[in-house]
A = this chain, B = another copy of it.
Amino acid sequence: MRLPRALTPRTVVSAHCDLPCGIYDPAQARIEAESVKAISEKYQANQDPEFRTRALIIKEQRAELVKHHLWVLWTDYFKPAHFEKYPQLHQLFNEATKLAGAAGAKGSTDPDSGVKLLEKIDEIAKIFWETKQA
């Protein structure tokens, strides 16, 4: 599923510091997840052992960033009222961060693990933008 970003409010760009600055955007996690997927694709298309080792080193870092950006959204952006309205939200975030970890995109070089991660992030992003419009 593609995130219908064209439909979301554009004025609010978006992210994440814990001042908080009030700026959040799931795009931060999504960009890193796109990177994770692309790395796995390049890994599969390249047999050179040095390239493959570099790919694993970098995929590890980008996947860690996915986790971090998602954790920030979960803890810093979403409030008790959101969790009441979207009772599945805790589990969604837990599954998404697990999909970025050892059992998912970190532990696999199958581009499909990147796809699954992106889909889960898109589910979160959909809810995120609903709450911004509320």
Chain A contact residues, CB within 8 Å of chain B: 1-23, 25, 27-28, 30-32, 34-35, 38-39, 42, 50-58, 60-62, 64, 67, 71, 74-76, 78, 83, 90-91, 94, 97-98, 101-102, 106-107, 109, 122, 125-126, 129, 132-133
Q: Is the CB of A102 within 8 A of B31?
A: no
Complex: chain B residue closest to A63, CB-CB? B18
- In angstroms, Cα B35 to Cα A52, docked, is 22
* Known interface pairs A67-B71, A102-B20; A15-B2 also in contact (CB < 8 Å): no
Interface core residue of A17, A56, A83, A132 (most chain B CB under 10 Å): A17
B90→A21 contact, CB < 8 A? no
